[in-house]
Amino acid sequence: MIHKDISKAKTAEELMRSRYTAFTKADGDYLLKSHHESTRPVNEINEIVSWAKSVKWLNLEILETTNGGEDDISGTVEFKAHFKVKGRRDVIHEKSEFVKEFGVWYYLKRI
């Protein structure tokens, strides 16, 4: 299970999917651990967790993955995360950049 051992994510997409699951569970520890240290939002994690708890997560839709394979050191994943807030459907549409360091994938930033 990737949430217990981040190094089990073999691709950027696998890490993206595990981060989505962490959002659905409002798992702030995992969100920080899977976020690259150079862009890690340590001071905002309480707000992120609070927001994640305030919505009803519906599904994750992967639109495109560029690089980010087992033999790559970087890649991007474009996705849509569907959710409901106050009974209204909404979506986060993002293209994210991932990097692999010492064999471990990390979320770097939104691009």
Give CA–CA dist 111/106, Å, rounded: 15
CATH match of 6-110 with 3.10.450.50? yes
Q: What is the pLDDT of residues 81-104, one digit of tens each?
A: 999 999 999 999 999 999 999 999
Q: Which residues contact 43 (CB under 8 A, 6 or more apart)?
A: none
Three-state secondary structure string covering 13-53 = HHHHHHHHHHHHCCCHHHHHHCECCCCCCHHHHHHHHHHHH
Per-residue confidence (pLDDT) for residue 1, from 0 to 100: 76
% pLDDT > 90, the chain: 96
The pTM assigned to this predicted structure is: 0.95
* Beta carbons within 10 angstroms of residue 18's beta carbon: 21
